[in-house]
Each structure stands twice: as structure tokens, then as C-alpha cells.
Amino acid sequence: MAIRSSIRKGGVRWGEFSIEVGLACCTLISVITTAAIIFVLVKETLGFFSHVTPAEFLFGTRWVPLLKPSSFGVLPLLWGTLIVTVGAAIIAIPIGLASAVYLSEYASAKVRSTVKPVLELLAGIPTVVYGYFALTFVTPVLKTVIPQIQVFNALSGAIVVGLMILPMIASLSDNALRAVPDTLRQGAYAVGATSYEVTTQVVVPTALSGIMASFLLAISRAIGETMAVTLAAGATPNLSMSMLESIQTMTAYIVQVSLGDTPAGGVAYQTLFAVAALLFLITLLLNIISQWILRRYREVYD
């Protein structure tokens, strides 16, 4: 082995350099992905807006894109997404938070160490499975209770989407509660608090930003959810207040169109991108807010 005696720079190390460039190129792929998403969505949405004004799209109350006379008001789809998401949140948030509190504050280490991986497993169940569950179990059960319910209905979709995001909320909120240092709990117990007071007045408020972030992530997941609502809630875009009727979400509409044979370039094809762009913006906004909350919450502990 040659002994290097010089400590002066010996020019560029080409091997090292080319490896670094290679790795940098890989990193570039995720930047390009973002650029591609934005480019494609913007380009096709602009094409769509040359046929339909943005105002008509955003504020129109009838969504009839495939039949004549057509109408491109996205509100019915937004409404469908909204009621399924709100319904899911009403189910999943209280149950998820209570479970997280149970796991982090009350359950024994043994229960926790078995339930936690199971939660992660449940969070990984594909959404098409929840769609199956909605159609073959939830809706029939609902029908025995509420006979007038339709075969496809928003309620069933909301229930299974709620079940779907439940493990995620429980697991992430549990992480947030666990991150609260034990010394805080002890400080509260030392002034004579009960476990209820310690949990609700010290631990949960301290972890609140982490908990809120988990809610937002779960809601964003529910909004972007596709298969369960496509299967359970149907394909009837409307502004109905009733959760017992068939509705259509933004995602379900996209699936419906792509299942048919839509020729590229037409207005019908472009609606896909306009709806997807809206979906993208809404979920992006929620994700950015939840990341912002999380960043703030990290600062508290450092």
C-alpha cells in the first residue's frame, strides 16, 4: 500500500464525485414528481377552463359531465366528500382519542405492546377491503334498522371510512401522548390530582398539537380515500342532506370515469384533472397545516 505523504488537494476524486452526482439525481426524482403532478394538473385544468369558467365549476350546483345537456358544477361532488368525511370524523375522532388515552395512560405495558402493532397492521388494510365490508355487512345491517336506506348510501361509506382512519388516529395520538414527559404527570399528581385531572388537564393539552395533527392527517386521508366510498356510497352526485341516499365523492367520480372508456382530450377527460386538482389542493392544504402544527409542537420540547 502506498503511503500518501502529501496532504495537499490532489484534484477531484472522480469516483466519489460521480457517486454523489448519481445520488443527487435520485433525489431529483421526487422534485420532478412534484413538478409533474403540478404541471399535468395545471395544464389539463386550464384546458378544462377553456370550456367551463372557473366560477361555473366552483359554484355550480349540478354535476352532469357525461350526458347532454352537460353541467360542470363541482359542488355536489364536494358535498359528497364533505358529508362522508365529516361522518367519518365524528365516528373516528372520539373513539380514536379515547383509545389513545387508554393505551398511553391506562393500559398495561403488555396490552400496549400487543395492541400497538395490531393497530399498525389494521392501518395497513387496503381500502378496497373496507369497501367490501361496507357493501356486504354495514349496509345490510343498516337496512334492518333503517328500512328506507338505499343500497348505496353516504352513511355506510362514512362508517367504514371512519373505521379505516380509526387505527391511524389512535396510533398517532398515542405517540403524541407518550411524548409528554412523565415528570409532568408526576408534577400534577404531586399536587393531589386524580388520573382524570392529570390526563384531561395536563397530558392531553400538552400533546394537543400532536393530537390535532393526527386528526388532520386522518381527515386528509379520508378525503383522498377512494375505493371504500366508490363501493359504498354510489355514483349519484347530489346535494342531498340525507345520509341515507346515494351520493358521489370527488374520488368516486374519478374512478367512475376512468372505468369507462374516455377518449383523451375531450372535456370529459379533462374533468378528471380538474376534480383531481381540487382534491390535491384540499389535501395539500390539510397536510401543510398539520406539518406546521407538528413543527410548533416540537419546539415546545426542545
* Sites for another protein among residues 205-234 (CB under 8 A): 205-206, 217, 220, 223-227, 231
Least separation in angstroms between residue 167's CB and another protein is 7
Q: Does position 101 bind another protein by CB under 8 A?
A: yes
d(CA 57, CA 142): 34
Cα of 152 vs its chain's centroid, Å: 22
Which residue from 216, 249, 247, 236 is spatially nearest to 153, judged by alpha carbons?
247
What residues numbered 150-209 form the site for another protein, per CB under 8 A? 163, 166-167, 170, 181-197, 199-202, 205-206
Q: Of 55-63, 66-74, 240-248, 255-263, which segment contacts another protein by CB under 8 A? A: 255-263
d(CA 88, CA 166): 9
Least separation in angstroms between residue 122's CB and another protein is 6
d(CA 282, CA 284): 5
Q: Does position 113 bind another protein by CB under 8 A?
A: no
Q: Does position 77 bind another protein by CB under 8 A?
A: no
Q: Does position 142 bind another protein by CB under 8 A?
A: no
Looking at residue 64, the DSSP 8-state letter turns out to be E
Evaluate whether 213 touches 290 at the Cβ level (below 8 Å). yes
What residues numbered 19-58 form the site for another protein, per CB under 8 A? 19-20, 22-24, 26-27, 29-31, 33-34, 36-37, 40-41, 44
Which residue from 89, 87, 57 is spatially nearest to 220, judged by alpha carbons?
89
Cis peptide before 76 (omega within 30 of 0): no
Q: Does position 245 bind another protein by CB under 8 A?
A: no
Q: Does position 109 bind another protein by CB under 8 A?
A: yes
